[in-house]
Each structure stands twice: as structure tokens, then as C-alpha cells.
Amino acid sequence: MDSLRNTHVKLLAFDFLNLRPYAGDQNSCFRKGKRLSRAETLGIVVTREFKSNKFLKFTIDDGTGCITCILWLNHFNSPYFSRRNPSDVRQIAQVATNFASDVQLGVLARVRGRLTNYRGAIQITVSDVVVERDPNMQILHWLDCIALARKCYDK
């Protein structure tokens, strides 16, 4: 039941939107009886809401649905980071800032992160972002998701 728990599971958006929250842990979800905590998506950035030093909230449209992603940018005012080494925090903040500037409307972005439940909806709390230059990556992502679902995730 937990074999996929720490894997970035490649999911199509329509599949992602059918995940069910896991009672008792808001950072886990169920997909067909298997517990997941991380996911990877790839699609076009169709919305972008930027709050300086707070977050970047954006939407990925992969052609089968839309996934909400949240990239935190609050490293210098979050109590969580105040306990960590300041130079590490600066580096983490710089990486997040770079991701935020990469995420622009219309780009093809590959996003990995944790599944989190916000106001009853499941979203991705972003760990990393790669902007894909090759438009064929969207096709390969669809085929990867189909093959993985059939041969691995659904088994």
C-alpha cells in the first residue's frame, strides 16, 4: 500500500484531480488504494499569482485538467526557516526565487513537489521546477503517465 509513498508519481491532471485526501495526514492522498505523498506534473503555465516574499501560486494545464501549484517564497519570515542555518536559508530562498522567475505564462513547466491539502483541494507544494524547451516533452510526459499507470501504479 505504501510502495509509492515517497516517489514523485507522474500523474495526468485528470488522475490527480481524482486523488482522495488521506484522513489523519494532510500531506498524503490515496490513488486507487495506494498512499501517495509526492507528484510530478508537466504542462503549460496558464495562471500566475505572485506575492513578493510570500508565494507564487500558479496553474499547470496538461490538456487533461489543471493542477494548482504553490511555491513558497517566505524563507526570511517563516518560523520554520528561522531555526535553520542562515546561509542555507539564503541558498534555498535563491533557488526558489529562480524557480519563480522561470514560471511565466505560456511556458512548458515540469513541476515536482509534495501533495498538500488546502481548503479541501489537493495541490502541489513545489520542490523543483524545470522549464522544458522541447515541446515534445509534453507528449513524452503523457506517454510516461499512461505507461506508468498501466504497468506500475495500477498493479
Partner 1 sequence: MATSAVKHGELVTLEELNPSSPHFTQGASLRVTGKLQEYNVDTAVALIVDGNASLKIDTQHLKVNLRMGSLYQFIGEMLIQPPNEAILKARVGRNVDGMDLNLYHQSLQLLKEFQADQMIERTH
Of residues 64 and 78, the one with the C-beta less far from partner 1: 64
Of residues 5 and 150, the one with the C-beta less far from partner 1: 150
Distance CA 19, CA 122 (A): 8
C-alpha cell at 109: 513547466
Binding site for partner 1 (CB under 8 A): 12-15, 17-19, 44-47, 59, 61-68, 105-108, 120-122, 134-136, 139, 142-143, 146, 149-150
Q: How far is the CB of 92 from partner 1 (least distance, A)?
A: 28
Dihedral angle of Cα 16, 52, 97, 113, to the nearest 10 degrees: -20
Distance CA 109, CA 45 (A): 7
Q: How far is the CB of 9 from partner 1 (least distance, A)?
A: 15
Q: How far is the CB of 67 from partner 1 (least distance, A)?
A: 7
Of residues 47 and 94, the one with the C-beta less far from partner 1: 47
> Which residue reads 513524452 in cell numbers?
140
Bridge partners for 98 per DSSP: none
Of residues 24 and 120, the one with the C-beta less far from partner 1: 120
